[in-house]
Amino acid sequence: MQTMSRRPSTLDFDKSRYGWEPDVDYRAHPELYRVGRGEQGVLICQPYKDELVPLWRFKTPDEAETSSAAIKAKFKAYLDAGDFVGADLARTFLQMGFTRARRYANYRGGRKYTGEDHHKLPRGTGEPEKARSAEIFHESWKAAEANEDYAARKNDWKQRFG
Protein backbone atom coordinates (compact mmCIF):
# COMPACT_ATOMS: atom_id res chain seq x y z
CA MET A 1 0.00 0.00 0.00
CA GLN A 2 1.26 3.47 -0.92
CA THR A 3 1.64 6.13 1.74
CA MET A 4 0.72 9.68 0.88
CA SER A 5 3.29 12.41 1.26
CA ARG A 6 2.57 15.07 3.87
CA ARG A 7 4.71 17.61 2.01
CA PRO A 8 2.77 20.71 1.03
CA SER A 9 2.34 20.99 -2.74
CA THR A 10 3.95 24.44 -2.60
CA LEU A 11 7.34 22.84 -1.88
CA ASP A 12 7.38 21.23 -5.32
CA PHE A 13 5.93 24.27 -7.10
CA ASP A 14 7.52 24.89 -10.51
CA LYS A 15 7.24 28.65 -11.06
CA SER A 16 8.47 28.35 -14.64
CA ARG A 17 5.34 26.33 -15.55
CA TYR A 18 2.87 28.69 -13.86
CA GLY A 19 0.85 30.64 -16.43
CA TRP A 20 0.27 33.95 -14.62
CA GLU A 21 2.60 36.75 -13.57
CA PRO A 22 1.82 39.43 -10.98
CA ASP A 23 3.69 42.15 -12.89
CA VAL A 24 1.68 41.80 -16.13
CA ASP A 25 -1.20 44.14 -16.95
CA TYR A 26 -3.59 41.61 -18.48
CA ARG A 27 -5.88 44.34 -19.82
CA ALA A 28 -2.99 45.81 -21.80
CA HIS A 29 -1.67 42.35 -22.76
CA PRO A 30 -4.66 39.99 -22.84
CA GLU A 31 -2.78 37.62 -25.17
CA LEU A 32 -0.65 36.58 -22.16
CA TYR A 33 -3.70 35.34 -20.23
CA ARG A 34 -4.34 31.61 -20.06
CA VAL A 35 -7.63 30.04 -19.05
CA GLY A 36 -6.80 28.16 -15.87
CA ARG A 37 -8.19 25.13 -14.15
CA GLY A 38 -10.35 25.90 -11.18
CA GLU A 39 -9.30 29.14 -9.54
CA GLN A 40 -5.76 29.39 -10.84
CA GLY A 41 -4.45 32.89 -11.41
CA VAL A 42 -7.46 34.70 -10.02
CA LEU A 43 -5.57 36.54 -7.27
CA ILE A 44 -2.67 37.48 -9.54
CA CYS A 45 -4.15 38.95 -12.73
CA GLN A 46 -4.09 42.72 -12.61
CA PRO A 47 -5.91 45.07 -12.98
CA TYR A 48 -8.87 42.71 -12.61
CA LYS A 49 -7.85 41.52 -9.16
CA ASP A 50 -8.03 45.09 -7.84
CA GLU A 51 -11.45 45.57 -9.48
CA LEU A 52 -13.01 42.33 -8.22
CA VAL A 53 -11.53 41.70 -4.76
CA PRO A 54 -13.38 44.67 -3.18
CA LEU A 55 -16.68 43.19 -4.42
CA TRP A 56 -16.04 39.66 -3.13
CA ARG A 57 -17.78 38.96 0.21
CA PHE A 58 -19.46 35.85 1.59
CA LYS A 59 -19.58 36.27 5.38
CA THR A 60 -23.39 36.38 5.48
CA PRO A 61 -26.02 35.42 2.92
CA ASP A 62 -26.95 39.11 2.57
CA GLU A 63 -23.32 40.01 1.81
CA ALA A 64 -23.08 37.05 -0.58
CA GLU A 65 -26.22 38.20 -2.40
CA THR A 66 -24.87 41.74 -2.81
CA SER A 67 -21.40 40.51 -3.75
CA SER A 68 -22.63 37.93 -6.21
CA ALA A 69 -24.85 40.50 -7.94
CA ALA A 70 -21.98 43.00 -8.19
CA ILE A 71 -19.60 40.42 -9.63
CA LYS A 72 -22.28 39.20 -12.07
CA ALA A 73 -22.71 42.81 -13.22
CA LYS A 74 -18.94 43.09 -13.78
CA PHE A 75 -19.02 39.76 -15.66
CA LYS A 76 -21.70 41.12 -17.99
CA ALA A 77 -19.93 44.48 -18.39
CA TYR A 78 -16.68 42.74 -19.32
CA LEU A 79 -18.50 40.58 -21.88
CA ASP A 80 -20.32 43.61 -23.30
CA ALA A 81 -16.97 45.37 -23.66
CA GLY A 82 -15.46 42.34 -25.44
CA ASP A 83 -13.09 41.75 -22.52
CA PHE A 84 -12.92 37.96 -22.20
CA VAL A 85 -10.12 38.05 -19.62
CA GLY A 86 -12.19 40.20 -17.26
CA ALA A 87 -15.26 38.02 -17.80
CA ASP A 88 -13.29 34.83 -17.11
CA LEU A 89 -11.82 36.26 -13.94
CA ALA A 90 -15.23 37.52 -12.75
CA ARG A 91 -16.61 34.03 -13.36
CA THR A 92 -13.70 32.63 -11.36
CA PHE A 93 -14.46 34.98 -8.45
CA LEU A 94 -18.02 33.62 -8.44
CA GLN A 95 -16.59 30.10 -8.31
CA MET A 96 -14.22 31.10 -5.55
CA GLY A 97 -17.10 32.64 -3.59
CA PHE A 98 -18.76 29.24 -3.67
CA THR A 99 -15.67 27.24 -2.70
CA ARG A 100 -14.59 29.56 0.11
CA ALA A 101 -18.08 29.88 1.61
CA ARG A 102 -18.46 26.09 1.38
CA ARG A 103 -15.18 25.56 3.21
CA TYR A 104 -16.29 27.89 6.02
CA ALA A 105 -19.62 26.04 6.14
CA ASN A 106 -17.80 22.73 6.54
CA TYR A 107 -14.86 23.69 8.78
CA ARG A 108 -14.64 26.08 11.71
CA GLY A 109 -12.52 29.06 10.68
CA GLY A 110 -12.23 27.66 7.15
CA ARG A 111 -9.28 25.46 8.13
CA LYS A 112 -9.30 21.86 6.91
CA TYR A 113 -6.01 20.90 8.58
CA THR A 114 -4.23 21.60 11.85
CA GLY A 115 -1.30 23.97 11.59
CA GLU A 116 1.36 21.86 13.28
CA ASP A 117 1.05 18.37 11.82
CA HIS A 118 -1.43 18.79 8.97
CA HIS A 119 -3.98 16.37 10.42
CA LYS A 120 -7.38 16.77 8.85
CA LEU A 121 -9.91 18.47 11.12
CA PRO A 122 -13.45 17.12 11.53
CA ARG A 123 -15.97 18.21 8.94
CA GLY A 124 -19.25 19.74 10.07
CA THR A 125 -17.74 22.16 12.56
CA GLY A 126 -18.32 25.23 10.40
CA GLU A 127 -20.90 27.96 10.25
CA PRO A 128 -24.26 26.83 8.76
CA GLU A 129 -25.12 30.29 7.39
CA LYS A 130 -22.10 30.03 5.08
CA ALA A 131 -23.88 27.15 3.31
CA ARG A 132 -26.51 29.63 2.09
CA SER A 133 -23.74 32.00 0.97
CA ALA A 134 -22.21 29.11 -0.96
CA GLU A 135 -25.54 28.35 -2.65
CA ILE A 136 -25.88 31.98 -3.75
CA PHE A 137 -22.44 32.00 -5.33
CA HIS A 138 -22.95 28.53 -6.84
CA GLU A 139 -26.08 29.67 -8.69
CA SER A 140 -24.28 32.75 -10.05
CA TRP A 141 -21.17 30.79 -11.00
CA LYS A 142 -23.15 28.15 -12.91
CA ALA A 143 -25.22 30.84 -14.66
CA ALA A 144 -22.02 32.58 -15.79
CA GLU A 145 -20.58 29.31 -17.11
CA ALA A 146 -23.83 28.60 -18.97
CA ASN A 147 -23.80 32.02 -20.66
CA GLU A 148 -23.59 31.18 -24.39
CA ASP A 149 -21.57 34.28 -25.28
CA TYR A 150 -19.04 33.52 -22.54
CA ALA A 151 -18.82 29.82 -23.50
CA ALA A 152 -18.15 30.67 -27.16
CA ARG A 153 -15.50 33.23 -26.24
CA LYS A 154 -13.85 30.81 -23.82
CA ASN A 155 -13.69 28.09 -26.47
CA ASP A 156 -12.24 30.55 -28.99
CA TRP A 157 -9.72 31.87 -26.45
CA LYS A 158 -8.51 28.40 -25.52
CA GLN A 159 -8.00 27.53 -29.19
CA ARG A 160 -6.13 30.75 -29.90
CA PHE A 161 -4.07 31.21 -26.74
CA GLY A 162 -4.35 28.15 -24.54
Cα 118 from Cα 91, distance rounded (Å): 31
pLDDT tens-digit readout, 123-134: 766 678 899 999
H or E segment and range at residue 74: helix 61-80
pLDDT tens-digit readout, 81-116: 999 999 999 999 999 999 999 988 888 767 777 677
Give, as one character, the DSSP assignment of residue 11. G
Q: Is the pTM of this model over 0.85?
A: no
pLDDT tens-digit readout, 37-72: 778 778 889 999 999 999 999 999 999 999 999 999
CB 108 within 8 Å of CB 125: yes
